[in-house]
């Protein structure tokens, strides 16, 4: 069986749109969708995983439990890098998950 890879944005385009990207210029939205300066931004995944996650945020979809710390260490910096908002449900989920990730660093560099 041949597995095809997809590139999945940790923070989906629809989630970015709902979190502030709707106010961005066209060029900034294109830059977000194709951002390769941070390897956490786009990750190769199986087609199955890509379909399962779709455009859901952390309140609606999470990877297997063993990947939660890695996932939030990608999600949070991307939201911060792009100055995207976080709604209350998302914040509660991230805080709940972060309790189990005490030694997971969160680093980012804001985009211009």
Q: What is the pLDDT of residues 10-65, one digit of tens each?
A: 888 899 999 999 999 999 999 998 888 888 887 766 677 667 666 778 898 888 89
C-alpha neighbours within 13 Å on the C-beta side of residue 83: 8
Q: What is the mean pLDDT of residues 74-86?
A: 94
Tokens matching residue 50: 């890509």
Q: Residue 28 and residue 74: Cα distance in Å, rounded?
A: 20
Report which secondary-structure segment, H or E, holds 5. strand 5-9
Looking at the domain assignment, is residue 78 inside a domain? yes
Total structural domains in the chain?
A: 1
Domain that holds residue 53: 5-98
Rounded to whole angstroms, the Cα distance separating 59 from 34 reads 24
With respect to residue 65, please indicate whether it lies within any of the assigned structural domains: yes
Q: Does 103 reside within a domain?
A: no
Show the tokens assigned to 58.
């952390």
pTM (predicted TM-score): 0.85
Report residue 80's pLDDT band, with 50, 70 and 90 as the boundaries: very high
- 104 part of a folded domain: no
CB–CB of 94/76 below 8 Å?
yes
CB count within 10 Å of CB 37 equals 9
């Amino acid at each position: 069986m041949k597995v095809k890879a997809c590139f999945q944005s940790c923070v989906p385009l629809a989630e970015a749109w709902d979190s502030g990207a709707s106010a961005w210029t066209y060029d900034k939205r294109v830059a977000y969708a194709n951002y390769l300066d941070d390897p956490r931004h786009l990750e190769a995944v199986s087609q199955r995983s890509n379909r399962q996650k779709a455009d859901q945020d952390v309140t609606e979809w999470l990877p297997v439990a063993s990947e939660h710390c890695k996932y939030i260490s990608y999600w949070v910096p991307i939201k911060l890098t792009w100055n995207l908002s976080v709604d209350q449900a998302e914040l509660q989920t991230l805080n709940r998950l972060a309790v189990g990730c005490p030694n997971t660093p969160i680093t980012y560099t804001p985009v211009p």
